[in-house]
Structure 1
Amino acid sequence: MFDTVLVANRGEIAVRVIRTLRALGVRSVAVFSDADADARHVREADTAVRIGPAPASESYLSIEALLEAAARTGARAVHPGYGFLAENAAFARACAEAGLVFIGPSAEAISLMGDKIRAKETVKAAGVPVVPGSSGSGLTDAELIAAAREIGVPVLLKPSAGGGGKGMRLVRDAGVLADEIAAARREARASFGDDTLLVERWVDRPRHIEIQVLADGHGNVVHLGERECSLQRRHQKIIEEAPSVLLDEATRAAMGEAAVQAARSCGYRGAGTVEFIVPGGDPSSYYFMEMNTRLQVEHPVTELVTGLDLVEWQLRVAAGEHLPYEQDDITLTGHAVEARICAEDPARGFLPSGGTVLALHEPQGDGVRTDSGLTEGTEVGSLYDPMLSKVIAYGPDRPTALRRLRAALAETVTLGVQTNAGFLRRLLAHPAVVAGDLDTGLVEREADGLVPDGVPEEVYEAAAAVRLAELAPADEGWRDPFSVPSGWRLGGTPKPVGFSLRVLDPVEYTPRGTHTVTADRVAVTLDGVRHTFHRAADWVGRDGDAWHVRDHDPVAAALTGSAHAGADSLTAPMPGTVTVVKVAVGDEVVAGQSLLVVEAMKMEHVISAPHAGTVSELDVTPGTTVAMDQVLAVITPAEEETA
């Protein structure tokens, strides 16, 4: 076993890897950018090395900086986690050339399976069924359009070098293929440095099922069963579970053997995942999609049902050990479900969020595990992936695991940063999810019904209660009646104290219930019902949901242009960076025309014209960093110009 391992990643996966290194008695080395100098993975490692400024391209994606950090600390091996350079053949090759063991497959296997076009051809030759689609690499836009028309819409555009849903576009209208190809190329280039695309047939109401494989360097390959990953939003997995309720033992064995053959076809070593698309009505008809040549975000559910530590076996295989298991030795016991906690705001269309973690509670124990990179005080910015943590529940059966996970999500508190925890809790209670009747489009179809309609009154009541408590004098002696926020007036009827507040839209709210306020809780009783919230600064939260209740000053909002500055103004829907500007001052535009693109947390958001008119103001250029609700441009309506 290695004596020192460098973890070339950040956040929850770095903390997760460090935990296993500590259990094995292996010294851990963390790396960090300037943005992560006080991050949890830095605190928990045995030692840590600064590798550059905040942008990932100058730190976590810098092969030179990572190799230098390994040399400075005497590391013998590098664990890449997932994301960043985990599936980068050049990084694996550079590690080998520097005398370091890359804890993962060979550079050749990464290169082969990282190219989705070559990967499909390779596994097809090994007898693994593949999704019908385009053939050949480096297709032009015209060739992609021709292939899509030949296959017939709907089709899926996919970056050849990509993963994690980034750059993927589902196209149901052949007329928008050119625009969707351009957008997919742009996102693929930004995410992977390669804008090569392929096109595949879209299977309606499909299920996404993947097989975990484990291979050593001596020719032994086993699979560890499947994970159901059909609950997705924007092609990103948000809930995963093991095993899948769809598969019977015969189908599980057949898909497992196909995954093993796919791994053998590229000489795979280490932990990897073979992903299949499965028609929900015919699970025996499954198609290879891709192979992820790394540890997966959802690996904990496999660990819980098999009893194996996958990070430990990554390390042992990389150190040259033989797998001590035959396929018959692998058994699946019980059921596990994982929920990904992301920095995003369901009430604002799941746009990325950010901020400082002011209060944090992450459940553990009693069949519940949380993998996290957070601490109180963590700054969540727009530079890195939005996933903050994962909550995983285990039980002897699926209903128990689901119930435990819903309860754990209700316990989860992350005030200061908006997350999807409450949304995921409601999703797990959806009748189709409870019944196991899943497909990859379910979340998109049901999302609106899983987001609360407006802000509950008790949220404003709780925020007002906190403000009343802060205004009240601390002493218990005589009080000047004018200093007490009671609405008392000399010789008159008390006037209720009201507040101008805003969560989404400004409201004037006068509290009417009874309240109990402590340092970290506020309880309010309205109409005989008691509601208890966690609180921190201007945030209140319960059952996984959180609300940032700000004081609303209409004058200040008008001066800063931050209060939804009018129908003619285009504002930033999230904190991020402007990457594309398609217009200039004086340009005439039509309603719905794409004008700007804002990127945050590896997600693009297109800003379109709200109506026809002329660009009268343009306050940003490509590369401009913007805050949420910042005015980007103003479109003067056409009717005003001719009035």
Structure 2
Amino acid sequence: MFDTVLVANRGEIAVRVIATLRRMGIRSVAVYSDADADARHVREADTAVRLGPAAARESYLSIERILDAARVSGAQAVHPGYGFLAENAAFARACADAGLVFVGPPPSAIDAMGDKIRAKRTVEAAGVPVVPGRSEPGLTDDDLVAAATEIGFPVLLKPSAGGGGKGMRLVTEAGQLADAIAGARREAASAFGDDTLLLERFVSNPRHIEIQVLADAHGEVVHLGERECSLQRRHQKIIEEAPSPFLDEETRQRLGAHAVRAARSVGYVGAGTVEFIAAGDDASGHQVYFMEMNTRLQVEHPVTELVTGLDLVELQLRVAAGERLPLSQEDVRLTGHAVEARIYAEDPARNFLPTGGTVLRLREPDGVRVDSGLVEGQRVSSDYDPMLAKYVAHGATRDEALRRLRDALSRAEILGVTTNIPFLRALLADEDVVAGRLDTGLVERRLDQLVRADLPDEVLVAAAMERALALEPSGPVVDPWDVPGGWRIGEPAWATWRIETADRPAVEVRVRGRAANAEVVVGDAGPEPARARWQDGDLLLTYRGRVRRFGCARDGDVTWLGEDGHTWALTETERLAAARHETAASGGPVTSPMPGTVLVVKVAAGDAVVAGQPLLIVEAMKMEHTITAPVDGVVSELHVRAGQSVGLGQPLAVVAPHEEA
């Protein structure tokens, strides 16, 4: 077994791999960019080596710098985690050339399965069913159009290289095809350096089922059952579970056999995942097709670990060290049920746009498995993937696991960064999810209901009372002139704040009296009694006959409140700030909805545009976001160019309505 292993990754997966290395008595080496100098994975490793600047291509994607880090740290092996270089055959070869063991499959297997076209042909020859479509190398745009016409709509465009939903496009009619091909090629080239596309028939009501496989260098290959990964947004998974509520035992064994054949077909060694797509309305489970193989550890591997009792990272390391697998297929037993939720820095109410910020306060739940790379004070930027953590619950039954995970999410608190936690709670309570009626389109169909949430008056009152408490004088003797409401003869004066959130107009909240015994007015309502105080770092608010406990953190003019898994970022604004909302429909500045890079500028200053017309494309986390015109009008100003980095809320252009132009 190795003495020292370098983990060529960051965030929660690096922390997770380091934990197994520590348990096995193996010295761990972390690597980091300047953006991660104080990150949790750096703190928890035995030693750490700087790679370079924040940009991934100059740090985590630099093969030369990672190999240098391995050399100076004395590492004998490199664990790539997932993402970055995990499925890069050139990296695996470079490790071998440098005398390092790559904890993963041989480069030939990565090459074979990394190219979806070659992968489909390889497994089809091994007797594994594949989705009907066209997957010859080098398909031109005209070839793709002809294939779509032949197969019939809807069809799915997919990059031949890479995965994670990047570059994937669903096309439902011929008129969408040209733009879809151009966008898919552009995004695939950006994410994977290869714009080769293939085209497949779109399977109706699809379910995403995957099989975990393990193989050693001595010819033994086993599978560890399946994972259901049908709950997705933007073709990327957000909830995974094991086993699947869809499969019966016969189908489970059949898919497991297909997965083992697929792994054997490329001489696979290590941990890998064979992914299948199933027709969700096929109760017999016979319409199940090979989709791709991920030649690495999967994000969702914890659910398999919880139902099998195995440590997949330990098994990866043992296989990489030349040991035989310590189990046969007959030894594999699935016990209970496990469900995982991925915590992302994103805003589901804004079509899952990536967010950012500083983690001002962190409370991660107990009673479930938490794989996390978070620490308080950490800066979350757009430089890397927005996944922050994973919460994983295990129970004797699926219902029990779902209940435990919902409860864990209700106790989680990440203040300072907008996350998808409230959305995940709503999704896990959806009646179809609870019943196991899943497909990859469910989230898109239910999105409006899943993100719909009113802003309770209690939250506005809590924000105002937090400000009142911050301004109150302290000490045994209080000068009445120092009370923020302003002492005067007759009755206390009102202290007034205008408070807004990112997607709601400002509301006026008035407070008078001391926080321990105050009156508040929200908007046009009448005055009501309220009391607030601090207890163990939380804000306790008594209002309308109920006591509520809020986690609280301040960041400039923004008050972050957290309660029952929900978070709110409330901004104290000037009185005229609400005018932005009142005049938005009449045009004006078009701003960036997230930090990122301008990929394409589709208009020039002076161009006439119509409402909804694409103006620019901004990329964040290797995903594209189209910015459209808010009204019919003229582009009176254009502030950015292609390739320029932009921040959240940065003005990109100004669209003046026709009458103003």
Superposition TM-score, scaled by structure 2 size:
0.94
Aligned AA (1:306)? T
Moved over 4 A (4+): 554-559, 561-566
CA distance in 1, matches of 2:345, 2:483: 39
Asked if structure 1 preserves the Cα contact closer than 8 Å seen for 2:214 and 2:272, the reply is yes
Aligned AA (2:497)? F
- Show the counterpart of 2:308: 306
Deviations 1:183-216 (A, max 9, x none): 1111111111111111111111111000000000
2:578 corresponds to 1:578? no
Asked if structure 2 preserves the Cα contact closer than 8 Å seen for 1:565 and 1:631, the reply is no
Deviations 1:153-188 (A, max 9, x none): 111111110211111111112201111111111111
- Show the counterpart of 2:291: 289
CA distance in 2, matches of 1:133, 1:191: 23
2:260 corresponds to 1:260? yes
Asked if structure 2 preserves the Cα contact closer than 8 Å seen for 1:334 and 1:396, the reply is yes
Deviations 1:1-44 (A, max 9, x none): 11111100000000000000011111111100110001000011
Deviations 1:332-353 (A, max 9, x none): 0010000000001123332111
2:416 corresponds to 1:416? yes
Secondary structure of 1:574's aligned partner: coil
Asked if structure 1 preserves the Cα contact closer than 8 Å seen for 2:104 and 2:296, the reply is yes
Aligned AA (2:438)? L
Aligned-pair CA distance for 1:490: 2.6
Aligned AA (1:502)? E
Aligned AA (1:530)? V
Aligned-pair CA distance for 1:498: 2.2
Asked if structure 1 preserves the Cα contact closer than 8 Å seen for 2:498 and 2:575, the reply is no
Contiguous gaps of at least 5 residues in structure 2: 511-519, 521-527
Aligned-pair CA distance for 1:626: 2.0
Aligned AA (2:317)? L
- Show the counterpart of 1:494: 492
- Show the counterpart of 1:227: 227
- Show the counterpart of 1:515: 532
Deviations 1:387-409 (A, max 9, x none): 00000000111111111100111
- Show the counterpart of 1:503: 501
Of the structure 1 ranges 283-292 and 522-531, higher mean CA displacement relative to structure 2 is found in 522-531
2:534 corresponds to 1:532? no
Asked if structure 1 preserves the Cα contact closer than 8 Å seen for 2:506 and 2:577, the reply is no
C-alpha change, 1:478 and 1:128, in structure 2 (3 Å) is: closer
Aligned-pair CA distance for 1:270: 0.3
Secondary structure of 2:246's aligned partner: coil
CA distance in 1, matches of 2:564, 2:126: 49
Asked if structure 2 preserves the Cα contact closer than 8 Å seen for 1:334 and 1:398, the reply is yes
Aligned AA (1:619)? H
- Show the counterpart of 1:247: 247
Asked if structure 2 preserves the Cα contact closer than 8 Å seen for 1:30 and 1:49, the reply is yes
Asked if structure 2 preserves the Cα contact closer than 8 Å seen for 1:342 and 1:389, the reply is yes
Aligned AA (2:72)? R
Secondary structure of 2:134's aligned partner: coil
- Superposition map of 1:292-371 within 5 A: 292-365=294-367, 368-371=368-371
C-alpha change, 1:461 and 1:478, in structure 2 (3 Å) is: closer
CA distance in 1, matches of 2:585, 2:534: 35
Aligned AA (1:172)? T
- Show the counterpart of 2:197: 197
Aligned-pair CA distance for 1:132: 0.7
Deviations 1:453-486 (A, max 9, x none): 3322111111111101011110221422x32134
Percent identity over paired residues: 66
Asked if structure 1 preserves the Cα contact closer than 8 Å seen for 2:95 and 2:101, the reply is yes
2:181 corresponds to 1:181? yes
CA distance in 2, matches of 1:151, 1:487: 74
- Show the counterpart of 1:171: 171
- Show the counterpart of 1:484: 483
Asked if structure 1 preserves the Cα contact closer than 8 Å seen for 2:586 and 2:657, the reply is no
C-alpha change, 1:520 and 1:149, in structure 2 (3 Å) is: farther
- Show the counterpart of 2:517: none
Of the structure 1 ranges 115-124 and 588-597, higher mean CA displacement relative to structure 2 is found in 588-597
Aligned-pair CA distance for 1:234: 0.8
2:569 corresponds to 1:548? yes
Aligned-pair RMSD on alpha carbons?
A: 1.8
Asked if structure 2 preserves the Cα contact closer than 8 Å seen for 1:558 and 1:565, the reply is no
Asked if structure 1 preserves the Cα contact closer than 8 Å seen for 2:129 and 2:290, the reply is yes
Asked if structure 2 preserves the Cα contact closer than 8 Å seen for 1:569 and 1:631, the reply is yes
- Of 597, 611, 627, which residue of structure 2 is paired with 1:591? 611
Aligned-pair CA distance for 1:146: 1.3
Aligned AA (2:254)? A
C-alpha change, 1:564 and 1:383, in structure 2 (3 Å) is: farther
C-alpha change, 1:85 and 1:394, in structure 2 (3 Å) is: same
Of the structure 1 ranges 605-614 and 90-99, higher mean CA displacement relative to structure 2 is found in 605-614
Aligned AA (1:583)? V
Asked if structure 2 preserves the Cα contact closer than 8 Å seen for 1:520 and 1:536, the reply is no
Aligned-pair CA distance for 1:516: 2.5
Of the structure 1 ranges 111-120 and 582-591, higher mean CA displacement relative to structure 2 is found in 582-591
CA distance in 2, matches of 1:293, 1:257: 18
Deviations 1:254-298 (A, max 9, x none): 000000000001110000000000112221221000000000000
CA distance in 2, matches of 1:328, 1:3: 32
Aligned AA (2:566)? D
Aligned AA (1:453)? A
- Superposition map of 1:78-97 within 5 A: 78-97=78-97
Secondary structure of 2:92's aligned partner: helix
Aligned-pair CA distance for 1:130: 0.3
Aligned-pair CA distance for 1:585: 1.5
Deviations 1:410-464 (A, max 9, x none): 1111100110111101111111111111111111111111113332211111111
- Show the counterpart of 1:614: 634
CA distance in 1, matches of 2:366, 2:95: 36
Secondary structure of 2:660's aligned partner: helix
Secondary structure of 1:393's aligned partner: strand
- Show the counterpart of 1:207: 207
Aligned-pair CA distance for 1:363: 1.7
CA distance in 2, matches of 1:543, 1:98: 51
Aligned-pair CA distance for 1:601: 2.0
- Show the counterpart of 2:649: 629
Asked if structure 1 preserves the Cα contact closer than 8 Å seen for 2:598 and 2:618, the reply is yes
C-alpha change, 1:117 and 1:545, in structure 2 (3 Å) is: same
Asked if structure 2 preserves the Cα contact closer than 8 Å seen for 1:63 and 1:91, the reply is yes
Asked if structure 2 preserves the Cα contact closer than 8 Å seen for 1:466 and 1:517, the reply is no
CA distance in 2, matches of 1:224, 1:373: 27
Secondary structure of 1:371's aligned partner: strand
CA distance in 2, matches of 1:522, 1:423: 24
C-alpha change, 1:17 and 1:587, in structure 2 (3 Å) is: same
- Show the counterpart of 2:55: 55
Aligned-pair CA distance for 1:554: 4.8
- Show the counterpart of 1:9: 9
C-alpha change, 1:41 and 1:494, in structure 2 (3 Å) is: same
CA distance in 2, matches of 1:106, 1:91: 11
Aligned-pair CA distance for 1:568: 2.6
Contiguous gaps of at least 5 residues in structure 1: none
Aligned AA (1:484)? V
- Show the counterpart of 1:73: 73
Aligned-pair CA distance for 1:621: 1.3
Secondary structure of 1:92's aligned partner: helix
- Show the counterpart of 2:523: none
Deviations 1:546-603 (A, max 9, x none): 11111112568989x9996962321111122222212221223333221111122222
Of the structure 1 ranges 28-37 and 447-456, higher mean CA displacement relative to structure 2 is found in 447-456
Asked if structure 2 preserves the Cα contact closer than 8 Å seen for 1:570 and 1:633, the reply is yes
How many pairs align?
636
Aligned AA (1:296)? Q
Asked if structure 1 preserves the Cα contact closer than 8 Å seen for 2:585 and 2:631, the reply is no
Aligned-pair CA distance for 1:506: 1.8
Secondary structure of 1:498's aligned partner: strand
CA distance in 1, matches of 2:536, 2:588: 43
